[in-house]
Chains A and B, each alone.
Chain A
Amino acid sequence: MALKGNLRDFTITQLLNLISLAQKTGVLEVKGPGQTVWIFFQEGKLAYAYSDKRDSSLAATLYRNENITKRQLRLIQSRAGDIQDKELGLLLINANYVTQEEILICLKDEYVGNINNLFTWVEGIFEFQNNAHPSNGKITFRINLENIIMEGSRRLREWEQLQDEIPSLDMALKFTDNPSIDLRNVNLSVEEWRVVSYINPKNTIKQIAKATKMNDLEIPRIVYGLLQAGLAQLVRPFSEKPSTYQKPSLPVGGKKEQKTLVNRLIKRIQSL
């Protein structure tokens, strides 16, 4: 079964949200007009990401970060040929060129950067393949997606999408019960924190906007990010009467008669 579609209909943040919640393992291929990006996930966390338009190998990444010189880069490329990242990393650490921490920081930024770059794309098709893994020699991570999703929402340009996601500012927010998300690990802006501090089924989004002095355009963007990152969900405001449904219309009164009628419908449909 497929998980594929077009970025016009499905944003990268929505895809990351899906992969994170479903804890998927595999590779997401995103094909734009002039570039293709592959993102690998392990149980819903970012493992590795690269693009065909950029060298994300360890050597090239360290060089761009000025952890190694051009001469060292050339040396590695000419002498070590197609040495794998893991192996090269060990060599460089042992030779005291770089620390393990430097390697991890710069590769993490590199992979995340490859995803961030996608947030500006408007054109492209995507396809997810289950259970694909990066090649063995790659240095991989298990990076939570919440921060990446929040960043994506901040960069979102298509405002009309927000209107579909948040049809009414009279809805309230509540924290999700998702145990894998720890708010303390999410980098939020001051505005985002202010909104978060008002999250409570008793407060409508409108009220939160008022309290945080945001207008009707600013607040949906932040709410969208919180929803996509899986930090919050939309609920009907608490103070309203808790009934979730209107009573169905039935041509008979009386509880017993109504139940009998529904049972007649059930029997008939079963017999079709």
Chain B
Amino acid sequence: MQTVKMVITGPFSSGKTEFIQSVSEIDVVATERKITSEAERIKDSTTVAMDFGRITVDDELVLYLFGTPGQKHFDFMWEILSEGMLGFIVMVDSARPETFREARRILETFRAYAPTPYVVTANKQDLPDAWEVEDMRIALRPSPEIKLLPCVATDKESVKTALLELLYNILEKMESGEF
């Protein structure tokens, strides 16, 4: 059996668990725990270990989706994560600009240290307070060649689109001989 892994990362509560849940054929075995810290009490539970989802491709191939824990600081994790990875999806909550700084930090880290390929999703586009994707592009300043996609993690089609964009991106790079 062959396995490939993708990592879903992003600031606290950006929708990583939801994203994986929308396409995984198993229940995301996240280690959710109740949130106690007042500051982060915008929802009841958060992911404390890696989320874990699965998509069986065929008899020989399985795709695993890993979601990073929300409250951990990202810096020291990405290098470990990057190993053995096909690519990343960086999720950002479009309706919470207070998390953009953290998101920008992730993107700047990526830019400085070059991980495996990644795309960025502007999640929760269904919310009335969501920032427009073009505004988020300026606010988040991803490298110009990085795709920033509108996303609604609760919507399976939207999640599929994000995953596919990442795969197309990888395929393109293979074809152009970038790696």
Contacts and interface: CB of A to CB of B under 8 A. Distances in A.
A215 to B, nearest CB: 21
Q: What size tier do the contact residues of chain B reach?
A: 35 or more
Contact of B4 (A1, A8, A250): A250
A137 B86 CA distance: 59
Contacts of A179: none
Contact of B171 (A14, A234, A262): A262
B178 interface: yes
B116 interface: yes
Contacts of B109: 167
B49 interface: no
B105 interface: yes
Given A9-B100, A251-B3, A269-B55, A262 B170 contact: yes
A269 B56 CA distance: 10
Contact of B164 (A2, A9, A270): A270
A248 B58 contact: no
Contacts of A264: 57-58, 61
Nearest to A268: B57
Contacts of B104: 164-165
Given A1-B131, A18-B138, A269-B160, A246 B114 contact: yes
B115 A10 contact: no
A165 B108 contact: yes
A210 to B, nearest CB: 19
Interface of A: 1-6, 8-10, 14, 17-18, 21-22, 161, 164-168, 170-171, 234, 236, 243-252, 255, 258-259, 261-266, 268-270, 272
Interface of B: 2-5, 23, 55, 57-58, 61, 63, 82-87, 95, 97-102, 104-105, 108-109, 111-112, 114-117, 128-132, 134-135, 138-139, 143, 145, 156, 160, 163-164, 167-168, 170-171, 173-175, 178-179
13 contacts: A1-B132, A4-B97, A4-B129, A9-B97, A9-B99, A9-B100, A10-B98, A167-B108, A246-B116, A247-B179, A252-B2, A270-B160, A272-B23
